[in-house]
Amino acid sequence: MIEIQHLQKTFPTSDGAFTALDDVNLTIRDGDIFGIVGMSGAGKSTLVRCINLLERPTSGHVVIDGEDMTALSPKALREKRRSISMIFQQFNLLMQRTCLDNICFPMEIAGVPKAKARLRARELLETVGLPDKADAYPAQLSGGQKQRIAIARALASNPKVLLCDEATSALDPTTTRSILRLIQDINKRLGITVIVITHEMAVVEEICSHVAVLEHGQVMETGTVEEVFSNPRSEAGRRLVFPDGVSLDQFPVARVVRVVFNGGSSYEPLIASLAIDCGVKVNILGADTRNIDGKAFGSMLLGLPQDNTEAAKAMNYLKSCHDVTVEEVQDYHG
């Protein structure tokens, strides 16, 4: 279990101290995939670097399995770090070593005999699906392959925790998905606790069980991914879940309604509050609206969810809105 207690980090800057982390409290249970999400500059990297003490907290504690990281001697800290691996956005492989030697590196540091280390490294190459890249150099690999090697290297020390700092942010969507699947697989099979730092909600949605939303160095909300996604309680959470003010989830549509705007407030807040106030997500199937001085004119086609009570809730809500008329479309063909 990882307990982050009253974590505070300030950086001295030319114009005074800058507070990057402000009283952060989190509990991460063993075996979880815990997401820490927030916009760029929120303090995510600083937080994750405080966990393995690459960054020393100004105050507060990081307790891992009952051991306070901040109280360890340099030597004990180095020892402890071997059970907390980290992967990075830029992979950070040793460019002058082959892939196999990169994977051997943490074992070399720990004094594992060379033959044994090489054997284990080959196993790990299998695990990450690159058995034929043992003698290749990182410069010869694609981004996704580099991250796989980095993951193999991270696993070499048999860690209990894997920290991922924007591990997929330099990768294309398809590669991102395959790397996330690999991380998920590792979590399931080896029971390694994973902390995923990301600015992309989609990454959290894809693999995390729990999530904390970070903004301006503070945890705005935390909970299971379902909780936070279906009902984000903080402003920061809502902005992340509905980046355009609407839910972009696609789901099977049962009923279609046409909403006509007669000069009320613009349509985005309407869809957002539909999601937030009623907890109902709708699909925008088509829209022809114009914003004139912040007022919406035009019409929009909305797909309502299959669940009848949810659909009824949405209809009632829409009907209660001013300057909006709602009608059901019977013969809609998407």
Partner 1 sequence: MDKFIANLTDALSNSALWAEFRAGIWETLYSTIVATFVACILGLVLGVLLVVGEKDGVRPLPAPVMRVLNFVINILRSVPFLILMLMVLPLSALLLGTSIGTLASIPPLIIASAPFVARLVETSLREVDKGVIEAAQSMGCSPFQIIWKVILPESKPSLIAGATTAFITILSYGAMAGAIGGGGLGKIAINYGYYKYNYAVMLIAVIFIVILVQIFQSLGTWLAVRSNKQLTRTRRRKKRKSK
Ligand X SMILES: Nc1ncnc2c1ncn2[C@@H]1O[C@H](COP(=O)(O)OP(=O)(O)O)[C@@H](O)[C@H]1O
Residues that bind Mg ion (CB under 5 A): 45
- Over its C-alpha atoms, the chain yields an Rg (Å, rounded) of 24
Which stretch of DSSP H or E encloses residue 299?
strand 295-304
Q: How many CA atoms lie within 13 A of 253 on its CB side?
A: 20
Closest distance to ligand X from the beta carbon of 208 (Å): 16
Where are the extended beta strands (E) located within 200-273?
210-215, 218-224, 255-265
Q: Which among 172, 162, 159 is positioned nearest to 200, based on CA atoms?
A: 172
Q: Shortest gap between Cβ of 43 and ligand X (angstroms)? A: 4
185 binds partner 1 (CB under 8 A): no
- Site mask for ligand X (CB under 6 A), range 41-70, x = bound: xxxxxx------------------------
Instruction: Judge whether 331 and 255 are in contact, CB under 8 Å.
Output: no
**Site string (184-223) toward ligand X, x via CB under 6 A:** ----------------------------------------
174 binds ligand X (CB under 6 A): no
Q: With respect to partner 1, which residue has the nearer C-beta, 138 or 144? A: 138
- Residue pair 1/30 in contact (Cβ under 8 Å)? The answer is yes
Report the nearest approach of partner 1 to the CB of residue 70 (Å). 16
Those residues whose C-beta lies under 8 Å from the C-beta of residue 253, and which sit 6 or more positions away, are: 283, 285, 303, 304, 305, 306, 334
Q: Which 218-247 residues touch partner 1, going by CB under 8 A?
A: none
Asked if 31 and 187 touch (Cβ cutoff 8 Å), the reply is yes
Q: Is 180 in the site for partner 1 (CB under 8 A)?
A: no
- CB-nearer residue toward Mg ion: 49 or 133: 49
Q: Minimum Å distance from CB 15 to ligand X? A: 11
User: Does the footprint of partner 1 cover residue 142 (CB under 8 A)?
Assistant: no
DSSP structure string for 82-109: TTEEEEETT----TTS-HHHHHHHHHHH
Among 40, 73, 250, 320, binds ligand X (CB under 6 A): 40
Residue 46 binds partner 1 (CB under 8 A): no
Q: Would you count residue 52 as binding partner 1 (CB under 8 A)? A: yes
Our finding on whether 121 is near ligand X (CB under 6 A) is no
Q: Could you tell me which of 31, 12, 20, 1 has the C-alpha nearest to residue 60?
A: 20
The option from ligand X, partner 1, Mg ion, none interacting with 260 (CB < 5 to 8 A, set by class) reads none
Three-state DSSP at 195 gives: strand
Q: Kindly give, in sequence order, each residue whose CB lies less than 8 Å from that of residue 197, ignoring residues fewer than 6 positions away.
A: 35, 36, 44, 45, 47, 48, 163, 164, 165, 166
Put the strands of the sheet holding 218-224 in their side by side order. 84-88, 161-165, 193-198, 33-37, 210-215, 218-224
- CA-to-CA separations, 329 to 251, 254, 287, 298, in angstroms, rounded: 18, 11, 14, 16
Which span sits near ligand X by CB under 6 A: 39-47, 100-108, 269-277, 287-295?
Answer: 39-47
By rule CB under 6 A, what count of residues binds ligand X?
12
Please, which of residues 199-218 interact with partner 1 by CB under 8 A?
Answer: none
Site residues for partner 1, 83-122, by CB under 8 A, read 84-86, 88, 90, 92-98, 105-106, 108-110
CB of 90 to partner 1, least distance (A): 5
Tokens of 299: 């019409």
Binding site for partner 1 (CB under 8 A): 52, 54, 77-82, 84-86, 88, 90, 92-98, 105-106, 108-110, 137-140, 157, 163
Binding site for ligand X (CB under 6 A): 11, 13, 18, 20, 38, 40-46
